[in-house]
Amino acid sequence: MGKRFNADFDISNYFGLGIYKEFNNFNYPTIIYLKQLTENNIIEIEKNNQSIELGLTFKLIVNDGSNNPDFMKDNLWLDISMTSYNSDKYLSIETGISHPIQN
């Protein structure tokens, strides 16, 4: 849940809900997810936006020799998703790297 402000001074409340399942049966862990987001504009009451996203993320674990099962691993990831925003459809491909922070 949150509040969004943009450059045009539009203020929106939004609520998102997501569910995912990780599969470790493949060479690379795979995450399938579904996200739903509802956004209501506070100034223009009749302006509501709905989006639903279905995606697939591949975690490409970096193994430099120091990574072992007891140690947190660096990950390269590739994300492919399809989003329906109101009546428009979008396909996205994202990639990145994540590094866990140890306590």
Structure confidence by residue, pLDDT tens digits, 11-45? 778 788 999 998 887 777 889 999 998 888 776 66
CA dist 73 and 25 (Å) reads 18
64 belongs to a structural domain: yes
Tokens at 37, concatenated: 């987001």
Q: Is residue 94 part of a domain?
A: no
Cβ contacts of residue 22 below 8 Å, gap of 6+? 29, 30, 31
- Is 82 a member of any domain? no
User: What's residue 72's pLDDT?
Assistant: 55
- The number of domains in the chain is 1
Domain that holds residue 33: 2-72
What's the burial of 41, exposed, middle or buried (CB within 10 Å: 0-12/13-18/19+)? Answer: middle
Instruction: Identify whether 52 is part of a domain.
Output: yes
pLDDT in tens, 43-93: 666 677 888 999 999 888 766 555 555 555 677 889 999 999 888 899 999
Q: Starting at the earlier edge strand, list the strands of the sheet with 30-41.
A: 2-5, 11-23, 30-41, 48-61, 75-85, 88-98
pLDDT score for 54? 93
